[in-house]
Amino acid sequence: MAIVRIPTPLRSLVGGADEVEVAAANVREALEELSRRHEGLRERLLGPDGELRHFVNLYVGADDIRDRDGLETPLAERDVVSIVPAIAGGLPDVRALMAELRQRVREVSAEQVHELLRRPGPRPVLIDVREPDEVEQGMIPGALAIPRGLLEFRIEQAVPDRATPIVVHCASGGRSLLAADSLQRLGYRDVASMAGGYRAWEQAGYETTRPLRLSPAQRRRYLRHLAIPEVGEQGQLRLLGATVLLVGAGGLGCPAAYFLAAAGVGRLVIVDDDVVDETNLQRQILHTVDRIGQPKVDSARRQLLALNPDIEVVGVQQRLTSANVSELVAAADVVLDGSDNFPTRYLLNDACVLHRKPCVHGSVFRFEGQVTVFWPGRGPCYRCLYPAPPPPELAPSCAEAGVLGVLPGVIGLLEAVEVIKIILGQGEPLVGRLLTYDALRARFTELRTRRDPDCAYCGEGRPFPGFIDYEQFCASAGAGQPAAPAAR
């Protein structure tokens, strides 16, 4: 009879015994005999090929069986066989585990990952499984930081499609092997581990970045945002990193800008060539009596920075024309249209189509307002709805256009909500939907808008026809012109 010493992790499989006696002529027979007697033991010790698993070492007396005849090592009476699984042991066993993982997990070098990330077309998702304090010291640009301990719980939300190519990395390539193995078990089919980890990337001299964090003051200011999972610290950082182009510091632009500034949108670029007039104060809430006669962009900037000095407000005291629209739109993440005339609306639409930027559109007239989002590539553009402006003689004069002062407040804030949703990537933007508000009836209506496949501007595969500076004239949205511009 030989004696097999059972390590603690396996004792539950043999009824708690720390030693088991077996009649066997060699080590293999001893394991076979044990496996016959105790269910679940065999797969812990032997692979499907009948060979000893890489993470288990066996000793006969003081000798590793690899130094003798392996599983055929003969056993004499009272010989002691010790089972030493990798995880129970020290460094050599961890090495064995890693060696075993390397047979199952594909490894790629930092150079290969660098190349994969640079090439055009679909790129793998790079997941950084280091701990937050390590990530803070620097990370690979574009990597998604999910600590090893949370990987299995967060991966499904981060990478829903299990066919997505994934490269996992840690500090030196060990944890990422474990992580990649775990992802493979969860069904991810194209997973690799970056050998050498972040250290190898750094040593190769590739670009690194430090993740942005909110300052303590920002944490206090935006505390009510941080408490919402859909915003959180990452969402607030997105808002702070975003640039919104506001066209018009009037009835729609004022309330929208006020709340975007409060929400911490990091850079507001406001275009308006007008000066503050007494009649503006009925609705244009950024302006004050003592600033009558001053440029609206200066007045707006002063008020917004008084509310939130944490952001940047750029005033552009110009009328929007074909000369400046493209540059302004290209530099923005989202455009908020708070303009009051056709030439501006069309210029803005066309530039948004050219640069594929979402344009949040609002308009008001007397007691009615509309909001929609024109997002090139995802839904209709303004020209899909109205291919060209009406001739000047069919548009009402400026003097006729009137508006209930609080109405642009409602519509401007609905626009601001859409802007924030787009920046955060949350919810369903008003793409392909026109939301109308009738203040007198207190009624919201949603109308479906369709993309025109033959639209001269956003139609698939069409060359950009160029900007048009339409003749300046006053206009307002009559009952039959749902998305047309109006008084501000």
Residues that bind Zn ion (CB under 5 A): 381, 383-384, 455, 458
Integer Cα distance of 207 and 267 in angstroms: 26
**Shorter beta-carbon distance to Zn ion: residue 266 or 380:** 380
Active site residue 398: yes
Task: Identify the active-site residue in 170, 398, 458, 474.
Answer: 398
Q: Is the dihedral of CA 475, 480, 485, 488 positive or negative?
A: positive
Integer Cα distance of 174 and 196 in angstroms: 8
Of all residues in this chain, which one has the CB nearest to Zn ion in the complex? 455
Provide, rounded to whole angstroms, the least separation between the CB of residue 478 and Zn ion: 22
Provide, rounded to whole angstroms, the least separation between the CB of residue 381 and Zn ion: 3
Integer Cα distance of 235 and 438 in angstroms: 33
Provide, rounded to whole angstroms, the least separation between the CB of residue 220 and Zn ion: 44
Contact 395, 474 (CB under 8 A): yes
Provide, rounded to whole angstroms, the least separation between the CB of residue 449 and Zn ion: 10
Provide, rounded to whole angstroms, the least separation between the CB of residue 431 and Zn ion: 12
Helices 407-424, 253-263: inter-axial angle, 10-degree rounding: 40
Residue holding tokens 């089972």? 83
Provide, rounded to whole angstroms, the least separation between the CB of residue 461 and Zn ion: 13
Helices 232-241, 407-424: inter-axial angle, 10-degree rounding: 110
**Shorter beta-carbon distance to Zn ion: residue 238 or 383:** 383
Query: DSSP state, 291?
Result: G
Provide, rounded to whole angstroms, the least separation between the CB of residue 385 and Zn ion: 8
**Shorter beta-carbon distance to Zn ion: residue 37 or 356:** 356
Mind giving me the DSSP string for 218-268? HHHHTHHHHTSTTTHHHHHHHHHH-EEEEE-SSTTHHHHHHHHHHHT-SEE
Contact 18, 11 (CB under 8 A): yes
- Token pair of 270 as six digits: 């406001």
**Shorter beta-carbon distance to Zn ion: residue 126 or 455:** 455
Integer Cα distance of 479 and 482 in angstroms: 7
Residue holding tokens 């919201």? 444
Residue holding tokens 């997505």? 164
Closest CA to 353 of 478, 215, 459, 442: 459
Phi first, then psi, for residue 163 (nearest 5°) are -90, -10
**Shorter beta-carbon distance to Zn ion: residue 377 or 425:** 377
Residue holding tokens 């009559």? 478
**Shorter beta-carbon distance to Zn ion: residue 304 or 353:** 353
- Token pair of 244 as six digits: 């919104």
Query: DSSP state, 403?
Result: B
Strand 368-374, strand 433-438: pairing: antiparallel
**Shorter beta-carbon distance to Zn ion: residue 312 or 452:** 452
> So which residues are the catalytic ones?
398
